[in-house]
């Protein structure tokens, strides 16, 4: 059965007439939501011959063709290619060929095309992106994991046909993120990649300008300096390209990218029809793709995060003529294909009985049913098997019976074995990379994170950089996991390291951390540090491993404070050191732009500077200290949960520190927090901040409920390779479904 989109689809009024007039439909894929989606048109509403299926667009005016959406579930669908009556598609482990079973003039449930999964070729999880058919009719696909083009061949998962000249080794470690493929005169001629280096995952370090376009026959670089380029296409004498990191459609000429127009999203998927380009848009997946030029532009345009959907663009003027925006949970598209001569496409999925019963035989136009639908009884003994090619069902789907769209890409414990499954005790350990981890899709890994990164934890909300994961696998079961966060300054921090209790004392934790160190060193990511809240449990878990691998002796760097707002609000500093004219307090959100600039110009330490975007600040507490309406200090805090805040910045300019104005600011903040019914206050003080340490010792410490310590250790700059012989394998991203947020209060954890 199809899983229909249940929300209205916002589309411009001209989209359905445009499709109808050209006699075309569109197909597009979303691998995060595991959907192949068709967009067609039906006759104007009210036509008695047109059945209603719930997927019409109610926003289209009466008398105009109605948009029709139809979707099917596949496991991580990506590249599409139209070849006559067939539609090819790359998915997680397979290349699919879907054949149309309807002849001219035939309809099936209102559709004039019925694409049926007719053949699949198992490639393994090689992160296949785009695909085309070669002159011999064989599929050629972009094998992103192995940084090559490949085809199918007997007795192997794939046969490499070409690789960029800078790729010197066939290895599944995504060296340049090869992703797009363009044909010219039916021959593969150009390929796009996010990087031009042969080092493992090196492209991730230069996403803003490291992208390249490669001329396949010569191996020469046709263009450089691109930002995460995708979807190269030769059309009407021009080589078109999507510069995804800047969100632009353009063309390549004389080795340079020429922009036709900016588009409000991360662009991937490009097709042409009627003198127009059809472009797919995705929302920004921050923090994974933070720091792109597109991010700055969208923020300036008031569209942080961007849009997800389709845009139809005039190739002459660059004007966006038509649009379609997709609702949550869909936030990403990968590829778009035009289906010429098709009014309303439909497809059979891999679940439901039609795929079993519907049959087409030669020289007979009608479709046949080979047995009654929904037969009584079980045709065989044993449990039902999940069809290969469908995404792994989510906990939400199992518990509610309702379809749930996936929103993530990392390795699925259900695909490799769950973390609580049993594996033979003597199973060898294999270490595998886990790509595309984000805070949004870590929930299925929560049992193997320590300190906990479960949904709702405050540590999860503080993640700002890209996450790198390394798993330990035993007989297909994940038994250990290490996660590091790559920061904007080029370094990395170990966020979590845990081994399943049944598999401890076998060197797995040491092996995980050691291999993670090797990988980061290969990518020139340094320094690599670990910061944790000191406790007997954490010290016993981590410090022996750190010592074995030559990390620096852990030292205290932050003092961690926690207090009750009821107790803190009773402090009388605001009365003893009252703030009077010409001083006054003003809510931070009430500052003018000029006053914000004045505050930013004060010579406060960098870690105490107010953020440029006040959106994340707690409005009930944040305030500025003004002197003659000029900011001379502030108190800022962020909400870390339903019942807690973290005080992040207290600053008073040195020339205004008489009469204990910092104490008065703090006391006023505590009172406002208590009035807002936020019971818990937390803060972290850098031990080098002598003024705050003195304030803690003399005034604040007696009013707190707990004082802890954050400790830090640094990895050695040089370290030996892993001693174990087991190789570092490449675990490509598999689909996961985040669990719903948990209601419990986040646990405290160190935060600078």
Was domain 429-551+715-731 assigned CATH 3.40.630.30? yes
- 711 close to 543: Cβ distance less than 8 angstroms: no
* Cα 510 from Cα 446, distance rounded (Å): 20
Domain boundaries, the chain: 1-122+227-238+260-373, 429-551+715-731, 560-710
Six-digit token pair at 315? 């190739």
CB atoms within 10 A of CB 690: 9
* Cα 406 from Cα 393, distance rounded (Å): 9
Six-digit token pair at 333? 């598209």
* Cα 366 from Cα 148, distance rounded (Å): 43
DSSP 8-class letter at 700: I
* Cα 733 from Cα 549, distance rounded (Å): 29
3-state secondary structure of 666: helix
Q: Which helix (H) or strand (E) holds 20?
A: helix 15-22
3-state secondary structure of 641: strand
* Cα 307 from Cα 713, distance rounded (Å): 41
Q: How far apart are the first and last CA of the chain?
A: 50
Closest alpha carbon to 481 in 441, 433, 524: 433
Sign of CA dihedral 262, 129, 141, 146: positive
Can you give the pLDDT at residue 534? Answer: 86
Closest alpha carbon to 680 in 605, 531, 568: 568
pTM over 0.75: no
* Fold assignment, 560-710: Aminopeptidase (3.40.630)
Can you give the pLDDT at residue 392? Answer: 64
- 65 close to 44: Cβ distance less than 8 angstroms: yes
Closest alpha carbon to 636 in 592, 600, 687: 600
Q: Do 429-551+715-731 and 560-710 fold alike per CATH?
A: yes
**CB within 8 Å of 503: residues ≥ 6 apart:** 472, 474, 479, 480
Closest alpha carbon to 512 in 485, 547, 545: 545
- The alpha carbon of 486 is separated from its chain's Cα centroid by a whole number of angstroms, namely 15
Could you give the angle at which helices 536-548 and 508-522 cross, rounded to 10 degrees? Answer: 60
146 φ, ψ to 5°? -100, 10
Sign of CA dihedral 203, 209, 213, 218: negative
Mean pLDDT of each 10-residue bin along the chain, 752 residues long: 50 93 97 94 62 52 81 95 97 96 92 95 95 95 96 96 94 92 96 91 83 97 97 97 97 96 97 98 70 88 91 97 91 96 94 82 82 54 69 41 30 36 79 78 86 83 84 88 88 93 92 92 88 84 89 93 95 92 94 93 91 85 95 93 91 90 94 96 91 91 93 80 41 28 30 24
- Residue found under tokens 């359905």: 16
């Amino acid at each position: 059965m199809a899983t229909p989109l249940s929300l209205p689809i916002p589309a411009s009024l001209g989209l359905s007439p445009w499709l109808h007039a050209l006699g075309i439909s569109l197909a597009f894929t979303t691998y995060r939501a595991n959907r192949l989606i068709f967009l067609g048109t039906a006759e104007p509403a009210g036509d008695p011959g047109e059945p209603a299926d719930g997927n019409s667009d109610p926003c289209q005016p009466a008398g105009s063709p109605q948009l029709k959406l139809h979707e099917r579930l596949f496991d991580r669908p990506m590249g599409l290619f139209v070849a006559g009556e067939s539609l090819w598609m790359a998915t997680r482990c397979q290349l699919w060929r879907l054949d149309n079973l309807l002849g001219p003039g035939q309809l099936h449930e209102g559709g004039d095309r019925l694409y049926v999964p007719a053949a699949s070729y198992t490639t393994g999880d090689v992160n296949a992106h785009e695909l085309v058919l070669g002159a011999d009719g064989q599929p050629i696909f972009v094998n992103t994991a192995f940084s090559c083009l490949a085809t199918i061949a007997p007795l192997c998962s794939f046969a490499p046909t070409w690789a960029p000249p800078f790729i010197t080794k066939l290895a599944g470690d995504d060296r340049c993120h090869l992703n797009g493929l363009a044909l010219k005169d039916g021959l593969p001629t150009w390929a796009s990649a996010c990087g031009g280096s042969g080092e493992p995952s090196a492209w991730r370090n230069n996403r803003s300008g490291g992208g390249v376009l490669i001329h396949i026959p010569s191996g020469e670089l046709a263009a450089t300096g691109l930002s995460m380029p995708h979807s190269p296409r030769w059309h009407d004498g021009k080589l078109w390209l999507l510069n995804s990191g800047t969100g632009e459609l353009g063309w390549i000429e004389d080795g340079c990218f020429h922009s036709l127009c900016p588009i409000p999203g991360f662009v991937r998927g490009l097709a042409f029809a009627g003198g127009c380009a059809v472009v797919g848009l995705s929302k920004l997946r921050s923090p994974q793709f933070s720091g792109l030029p597109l991010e700055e532009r969208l923020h300036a345009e008031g569209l942080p995060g961007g849009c997800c959907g389709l845009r139809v663009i005039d190739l002459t003027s660059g004007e966006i003529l038509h649009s379609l925006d997709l609702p949550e949970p869909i936030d990403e598209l990968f590829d778009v294909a035009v289906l010429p001569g098709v009014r309303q496409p439909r497809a059979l999925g891999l679940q439901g009985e039609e795929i079993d019963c519907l049959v087409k035989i030669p020289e007979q136009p009608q479709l046949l049913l080979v047995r009654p639908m929904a037969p009584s009884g079980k045709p065989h003994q044993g449990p039902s098997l999940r069809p290969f090619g469908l995404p792994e069902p989510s906990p939400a789907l199992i518990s509610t019976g309702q379809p749930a769209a996936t929103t993530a890409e990392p390795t699925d414990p259900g695909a490799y074995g769950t973390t609580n499954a049993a594996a033979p005790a003597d199973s060898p350990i294999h270490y595998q990379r886990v790509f595309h981890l984000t805070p949004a899709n870590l929930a299925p890994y929560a049992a193997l994170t320590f300190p906990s990164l479960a949904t709702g934890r405050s540590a999860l909300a503080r993640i700002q950089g890209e996450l790198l994961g390394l798993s330990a696998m035993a007989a297909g079961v994940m038994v250990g996991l290490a996660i590091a966060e790559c920061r904007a300054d080029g370094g990395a921090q170990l966020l979590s390291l845990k081994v399943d209790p049944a598999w401890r004392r076998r060197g797995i934790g040491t092996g995980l951390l050691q291999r993670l160190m090797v990988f980061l060193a290969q990518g020139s990511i340094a320094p690599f540090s670990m910061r944790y809240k000191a406790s007997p449990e954490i010290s016993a878990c981590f410090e022996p491993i750190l010592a074995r691998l030559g990390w620096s002796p852990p030292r205290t760097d932050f003092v961690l404070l926690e207090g009750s707002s009821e107790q803190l609000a009773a402090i009388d500093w605001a009365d003893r050191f009252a703030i009077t004219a010409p001083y006054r307090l003003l809510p931070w959100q009430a500052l003018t732009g000029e006053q914000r600039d004045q505050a930013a110009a004060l010579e406060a330490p960098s870690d105490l500077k107010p953020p440029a975007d006040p959106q994340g600040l707690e409005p009930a507490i944040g305030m500025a200290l003004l002197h003659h309406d000029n900011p001379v200090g502030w108190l800022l805090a962020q909400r870390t949960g339903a019942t807690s805040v973290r005080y992040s910045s207290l600053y008073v300019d040195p020339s205004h520190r008489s009469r204990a104005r910092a104490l008065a600011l703090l006391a006023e903040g505590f009172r406002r927090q208590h009035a807002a019914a936020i019971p818990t206050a937390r803060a972290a003080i850098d031990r080098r901040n002598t003024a705050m340490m003195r304030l803690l010792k003399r005034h604040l410490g007696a009013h707190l409920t707990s004082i802890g310590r954050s400790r830090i250790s640094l990895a050695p700059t040089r370290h030996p390779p892993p001693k174990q012989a087991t190789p570092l394998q490449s675990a490509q991203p598999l689909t996961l479904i985040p669990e719903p947020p948990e209601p419990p209060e986040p646990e405290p954890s160190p935060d600078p």
